[in-house]
Every structure is written in C-alpha cells, then in structure tokens.
C-alpha cells in the first residue's frame, strides 16, 4: 500500500511538471488552447444572455440598463482578449512557430557560454574553446552519448527542413539527470515515453547543437563519432561555421577523465550476488560485479567496437566476452569485472570521477559490500545481513532516491 501511494504521488508530480513547468512548445500551446476554449464558453454564455434580452421589445430579463451594458462589454473582452488572442497567438503560435523555424522546442534564455559560442568561437575552430569549461563534463557527456545517445539528421531529399536532433535516452527514474543536463546545455526539451518507462533529452536549436559539438568534439572513443561528423558538416554548410572534426580520443585512455563514468551510466550495471547453501549450492558465495554490454558493430557504418572495449577490458583487468541475442540475432560484447583487482580499480576510479545517474546510489551501496569483501568480513553475520539488504534495495528494487550528487555536475 505504501509503494502504491508513493507511485500515485510520483504520477501526480510528473503530471504537474508536465503541464505547469514544461518548456515544450506543444504542451504550452495546448494549455493556451484549453484556456481559450474555457473562455469561449464563458463568452458564449454572455452572448446567449444578450440575445435573450434582444429577443423581444422592451425589458426582457435585465431591468438594469447599466448591467446590460456591462454584459456586452464583458462578452467583447472575453471573446477578443481571452479566446481569440490566446488561441491564435499563444495556441497556434506555439504549435506553428517551432515548425517554421525547424525547432520543436521553446528556446530557453541564452547563458554566457552560449553567447560566447555563437558570437565568437564558432567563427573559427572548436579547438580554441576548451578553456574555461569543466573537462569532466565534456568527457562524461561524451561517454553518456556513446552509450545511449544518437544524432538524427534529416534526409536531404525531404521537402520540409528540420534541424538535426541530439538525443540521449534515460530511464524515467533518471529524469532529474536529464533535466540537469538540459539546464547546462541551455536549450532543448525532454520528451517522455511512458510506455517504455523512459524520457529523452532532445537538443534541436542551433545554439544547443553548437554547444553539444563544443562539449564532445574530440572526446569520443567509439564508431558513433560518424554521427558527430555529420552534425558538424550540417553546421558548417548551413550556418557558416568552420568547425574542425577532431579525431577519436585514444591517448590517456580512461585514466584522467570521466568518459567511463558516462559510459557506465548508460550501459553499465552493478550487482551483488549471494549464493546460499540453502539453495543447493556447494558453498556460500558472495561477489560483486560491474557488467557492461555494448553492440559489436555500428549499425550504420559497420565499424567495430572491438578496440575501445578491448582497452576497457584491459583497464579493468578482465576478459572481453561475446553473446548473441536469439530474438534479433544481434551480437554484443560483454565486460564483467568481479575480481578483487578489478573492483579495486573501479572503486578508485569512481571515487575520482563519480557517476551522476541513479546508478551512483547503486554504486554507493555496492561499494559497501566491496569493502566488506576487501576486509574479509562479508561472511560474518553482520556482513550477510548487510549483503541481503543491499541486494534487495538496489537497481529496480530501489524506492528511495536522493539527487544531491547532481550538485557536483556543472559546466
């Protein structure tokens, strides 16, 4: 019952944010049209009163002439200022204007960084823009994009012209992270997919696309870089920029930046295994692991992810395995880090370069069991209780979320 109540509160909160705190042009336009419709009904009621009064000679229903004049004035004000203008300007304006300019979202106010990018840096090369920006944000966003992101660019043969769209998909429970990144980027919107229990950060305005390129150009490590190159080509062709296409980042792999943190937030998962003797096992076993799964080949270019995932496996001192999905026939690389050496490397890295999704909370709980394993206390009575508690409260079983760690994520 308690969980049902929490789910209900969450749904109400989502509804409130969707309709009263939205920056989505279509949602705002819908609110204007609903307001105009309600005002139109009130104005129609005044119109009926006026027509009833004029249905015959002399006084019919309103004996006070001043009241009759007030009804006429109220009817005019309601129909013009509360129905026609909100519907045409606020309603259809919010629907049609984004279509005309090729951007489906409402533009947010430009921040200082966005103004600098538009007015100065992109007349030259992105190489000169690296000063003054949090490098951890750049590499984290690159890893996040290479895990669960994509860039959609319109087919040039299509008649209607639309801006490219930079998208990163999050599970619905990670909506606060999507909103934080939206605030940092400064333009775009969040699209909700309730059936998939997901939300998508979408950046389409040119200002936001330029900032994205500024942040991740030169920080990518996978074949997904071809999508960024196409975006750069589009900006250079259509907006008189001369952005340089920086190469894949290979030197200093994973040692001094947050790329792996972003990649884990996208495609990684933490788990704690507890094999009990009561379940017909030969002996009790407790282990912690990080699992990362990624496709073998890029679906567009056919380029392999082998090099980047081999380097990742070597960094974590574990093997690179493969699996084939029976339903689709797709093949994937799998990295499973569970040895003490691998766990030690992971803990040191993630303490230096933290996660920012809800997996940060899973990591903090997971780390407690890892430390018990390091100290050989995981088979004590206290360790067993702690292990079972963590297993039953992380990942999809988690019901409490604290997002204070997002305060560390900034430009």
pLDDT tens for each residue of 113-143:
344 334 333 333 333 333 445 678 999 999 9
Is 379 part of any domain?
yes
Residue 2 lies in a domain: no
Are the beta carbons of 220 and 245 closer than 8 angstroms?
Answer: no
Q: How confident is the model at residue 24 (pLDDT cuts 50, 70, 90)?
A: confident
Predicted local distance difference test score (pLDDT) of residue 1: 46
- First CA to last CA distance, the chain: 41
* Residue-averaged pLDDT of the chain: 84
- Based on the fold, state whether residues 83 and 149 are members of the same structural domain: no
What's the CA gap between 29 and 281, in Å, rounded?
61
CA distance 265 to 143: 8
Average pLDDT estimate for 152-159 = 82
Does residue 75 sit in the same domain as residue 176?
no
Does any domain span residue 48?
yes
Are 51 and 168 within one domain?
no
Instruction: Note whether 268 and 402 are same-domain residues.
Output: yes
Pairing state between β 189-193 and 149-152: unpaired
pLDDT (mean) for 77-104: 82
Percent of the chain residues topping a pLDDT of 90:
53
Question: Is residue 107 a part of any domain in this protein?
Answer: no
Does 159 have pLDDT greater than 80? no
Query: Do 401 and 265 share a structural domain?
Result: yes
Q: Is there a domain that residue 320 lies in?
A: yes
Q: What is the pLDDT of residues 241-278, one digit of tens each?
A: 899 999 988 755 667 889 999 999 999 999 999 887 66
Are both 167 and 47 inside the same structural domain? Answer: no
- 277-309 pLDDT tens trace: 665 556 788 999 999 999 898 888 889 999 999
Average of pLDDT values for 351-374? Answer: 94
CB 207 within 8 A of CB 110: yes
Residue 1, domain member (yes or no):
no
Per DSSP, the three-state class of 193 is strand
User: CATH number of the domain that 168 lies in?
Assistant: 3.10.28.10
DSSP character string of 169-222: EEEGGGHHHHHHHHHHH-S-EEEEEGGGTEEEEEE-SHHHHHHHHHHHTTT--S
Last residue of a domain, one of 238, 267, 295: 238
Residues 386 and 331 in one domain: yes
The reported pLDDT for the residue numbered 91 is 87
Structural domain ending residue among the three candidates 101, 120, 148: 101
| CA dist., res. 289 & res. 373, Å (int) | 12
**Judgement on whether residues 93 and 126 belong to the same structural domain of the protein:** no
β-pair type (198-203, 149-152): unpaired
Residue at 162 is within a domain = yes
**Per residue in 189-242, pLDDT tens?**
999 988 889 999 999 999 999 999 999 998 999 999 999 999 999 999 988 889
Number of domains in the chain: 3
* Residues 327 and 362 grouped into a single domain: yes
In this structure, the answer to whether residues 302 and 378 fall within a common structural domain is yes
Residue 370 clears pLDDT 60, i.e. is over it:
yes
In a domain, 166, yes or no: yes
Domain that holds residue 40: 19-101
* 368 CB-side CA count, 13 A: 16
């Amino acid at each position: 019952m308690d969980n049902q109540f929490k789910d209900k509160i969450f749904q109400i909160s989502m509804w409130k944010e969707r309709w009263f705190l939205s920056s989505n042009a279509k949602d705002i336009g819908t609110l204007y049209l609903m307001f105009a419709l309600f005002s139109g009904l009130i104005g129609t009621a005044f119109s009926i009163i006026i027509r009833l009064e004029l249905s015959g000679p002399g006084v019919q229903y309103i004996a006070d002439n001043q009241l009759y004049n007030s009804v006429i004035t109220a009817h005019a004000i309601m129909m013009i200022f509360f129905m026609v203008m909100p519907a045409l300007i606020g309603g259809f304006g919010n629907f049609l204007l984004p279509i005309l300019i090729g951007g489906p979202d409402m533009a947010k106010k430009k921040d200082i960084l966005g103004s600098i990018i538009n007015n100065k840096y992109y007349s030259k090369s992105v190489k000169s823009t690296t000063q003054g920006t949090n490098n951890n944000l750049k590499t984290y966003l690159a890893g996040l994009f290479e895990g669960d992101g994509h860039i959609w660019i319109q087919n040039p043969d299509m008649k209607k012209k639309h801006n490219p769209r930079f998208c990163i998909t999050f599970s619905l429970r990670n909506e606060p992270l999507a909103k934080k990144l939206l605030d940092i980027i400064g333009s775009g919107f969040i699209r909700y997919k309730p059936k998939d229990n997901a939300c998508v950060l979408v950046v389409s305005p040119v200002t936001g696309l330029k900032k994205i390129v500024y942040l991740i150009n030169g920080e990518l490590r996978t074949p997904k870089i071809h999508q960024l190159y196409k975006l750069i080509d589009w900006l250079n062709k259509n907006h008189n920029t001369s952005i340089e296409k920086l190469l894949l980042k290979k030197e200093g792999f994973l040692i001094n930046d947050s790329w792996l943190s972003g990649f884990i937030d996208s495609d990684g998962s933490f788990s704690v295994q507890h094999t009990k003797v009561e379940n017909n096992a030969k002996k009790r076993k407790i282990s912690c692991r990080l699992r990362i799964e990624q496709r073998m080949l890029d679906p567009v270019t056919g380029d392999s992810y082998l090099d980047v995932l081999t380097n990742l496996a070597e960094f974590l001192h574990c093997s690179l395995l493969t699996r084939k999905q029976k339903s689709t026939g797709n093949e994937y690389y799998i990295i499973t880090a569970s040895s003490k050496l691998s766990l030690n490397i992971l803990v040191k890295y993630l303490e230096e370069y933290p996660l920012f999704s809800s997996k940060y909370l899973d990591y903090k709980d997971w780390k407690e069991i890892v430390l018990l394993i390091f100290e050989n206390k995981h088979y004590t009575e206290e360790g067993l209780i702690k292990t079972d508690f963590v297993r039953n409260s992380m990942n999809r079983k988690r019901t409490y979320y604290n997002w204070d760690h997002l305060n560390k994520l900034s430009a």
